Amino acid sequence: MQILQVLKDLGLTDKEPDVFLALMSTPGTQPASVIAKKVKLNRVTVYKTLVKLAEMGLVTKTMKFGTMCFFVEDPDKVLENLVKQRKTEVEALSKQVLTVLPQIKTLQQQELYIPRVRFYEGIEGVKRVYEDTLVEKKPIDAFENVADIAPEIIDYLDNDYIRRRVENGIFARVMTPMNPSNKTFRKKDKASLRETRFATIQAFPVEIEINIYGNKTAFFSYKAEEMFGVIIESRAIANSMRAVFSYCWSMAK
């Protein structure tokens, strides 16, 4: 089995290793019919295999009493030649890879310009989007309105998410419309590792949450009757949304 594996590693495929070993272990010059009986294959298949092995330089063919016969010369020399052949093939392949590598990298760069979008539904989907901000561990710029968040999401944020965000040292800047719920929200800024600024409800009637972090922008709809989250991974979109946020931030109080 070890010999068969070595022959396969050297490039022999299908029935070639079996036919080669059968011929090598059979004394003298043999026709395909003799080897066919040893490997239990039909004569035509074995004959074609032997011809291919001869083309590879692994066996030698000769005529004997009008019949094509085959034999293996010095196994050391045969296998050494096969190793050299494989080495040459690998070196040629290596050169080809180096030649096309710049083109492959160009294709990869083009792929990076295509935004990756992930969509999640329901309470667990919204939570999963929040969890992604913890994985990224980047500062968060957020548009949001606490007054519109469903109670189940509020419970998750207050008793789980915010604690872990603080533990990870992820600072958040929050833009939100001024209302009683958000005034209470801002009182917890220090403990929640964030800074909150207000805009008037008339100027900033936001109904969803938008988080901008790293190269990602997440959109949440967390009303009880409409829950989903979307993550868009795009440097250009994140940078543009961050610029919008910074402008709004400079105008807020």
Gap between the Cα atoms of 167 and 39, Å rounded: 68
Q: How far is CA 179 from the centre of its chain?
A: 45
pLDDT tens for 68-98 read 999 887 777 777 777 777 788 778 877 887 7
pLDDT score of 130: 93
pLDDT tops 90 at residue 252: no
pLDDT score of 37: 92
134-155: b (≥16 Cβ within 10 Å) or e: eebeeebbbbbbbebbbeebee
State the average pLDDT over residues 215-224.
89
pLDDT tens for 165-200 read 999 999 999 998 888 887 888 999 999 999 999 887
pLDDT score of 18: 87
Give DSSP secondary structure letters for 127-157. Answer: HHHHHHHHHHT--EEEE--GGGS-HHHHHHI
pLDDT score of 147: 79
- The larger pLDDT score, comparing residue 145 to residue 203, is at 145
Contact between 78 and 45 (Cβ < 8 Å): no
The one-letter code for the residue type at 149 is: I
pLDDT score of 16: 87
Contact between 209 and 145 (Cβ < 8 Å): yes
pLDDT tens for 92-137 read 877 887 787 777 666 655 555 567 899 999 889 899 999 999 999 9
pLDDT score of 7: 72
Domains in the chain with CATH codes:
2-78 (1.10.10.10), 116-251 (3.30.870.10)
